[in-house]
Amino acid sequence: MKIAIIGTGYVGLPSGVGFAELGNEVYCIDNNINKINMLNKGVLTLYENGLDDLFTRNVKAGRLHFTTSMKDGVNNADLVIIAVGTPPHPVTKEADLQYIEAAAQELAPYLTGYTVVATKSTVPVGTGDKVEAIIRKSNPKADADIISLPEFLREGFAIYDFFHPERIVVGTDSERARQLISDLYATFENTKLLFVNRKSSETIKYASNAFLAIKLNYINEMANFCEKSGANIDEVALGMGLDSRIGNKFLKAGPGYGGSCFPKDTNAMSYMARQYGVTMPLIDTTIAENDARPALMAQRILQLSKPDAKIAVLGLAFKNGTDDCRTSPAIQIIEKLLEKKADITAFDPQANVSALKLLGNKIAYADDAYSAVKDADIIAVLTEWKDFTELDWQKIASLVRQKVIMDCRNILDATALKKLGFKYRCIGQKDE
Ligand code: NAD
- How far, in whole angstroms, is CA 166 from its chain's centroid? 17
**Of 28, 226, 261, 325, which is the active-site residue?**
261
- How far, in whole angstroms, is CA 19 from its chain's centroid? 20
Distance 388 CA to ligand 1 centre (A): 30
**Pocket flag, ligand 1, residue 85 (CB < 6 Å):** yes
Q: What pLDDT sits at residue 432?
A: 74
Asked if residue 250 lies in contact with residue 220, where contact means CB atoms within 8 angstroms, the answer is no
Report helix, strand or coil for 376: coil
Q: Which residues, 6 or more positions from 94, have their beta carbon under 8 angstroms from its beta carbon? A: 88, 124, 267, 268, 271, 272
Q: What pLDDT sits at residue 431?
A: 82
Does residue 28 have an active-site annotation? no
Asked if residue 226 lies in contact with residue 237, where contact means CB atoms within 8 angstroms, the answer is no
pLDDT beneath 70: ranges in the chain: none
**Pocket flag, ligand 1, residue 32 (CB < 6 Å):** yes
Residue 236 CA to residue 232 CA, distance in Å, equals: 6
Distance (Å) of CA 407 to CA 127, 272, 424 = 42, 36, 7
Q: What pLDDT sits at residue 306?
A: 85
Other CB atoms within 10 Å distance of the CB of residue 414? 16
Distance 30 CA to ligand 1 centre (A): 10
Digit-coded pLDDT (tens) for 150-184: 999 999 999 999 999 999 999 999 999 999 999 99
**Pocket flag, ligand 1, residue 76 (CB < 6 Å):** no
Run of H or E residues at 89 = none
Q: Where do the domains of the chain lie, and which CATH numbers do they carry?
A: 2-196 (3.40.50.720), 206-288 (1.10.1040.10), 292-426 (3.40.50.720)
pTM: 0.95
Distance (Å) of CA 376 to CA 25, 312, 350, 399, 426 = 52, 6, 22, 8, 18
Asked if residue 314 lies in contact with residue 379, where contact means CB atoms within 8 angstroms, the answer is yes
Asked if residue 14 lies in contact with residue 51, where contact means CB atoms within 8 angstroms, the answer is yes
**Pocket flag, ligand 1, residue 10 (CB < 6 Å):** yes
Distance 36 CA to ligand 1 centre (A): 14
Asked if residue 200 lies in contact with residue 230, where contact means CB atoms within 8 angstroms, the answer is no
Digit-coded pLDDT (tens) for 34-61: 999 999 999 999 999 999 999 999 999 9
CA-12 nearest atom, ligand 1: 26
Report helix, strand or coil for 385: coil
**Pocket flag, ligand 1, residue 7 (CB < 6 Å):** yes
In degrees and rounded to multiples of 5, residue 364 shows phi and psi of -95, 150
Residue 211 CA to residue 339 CA, distance in Å, equals: 32
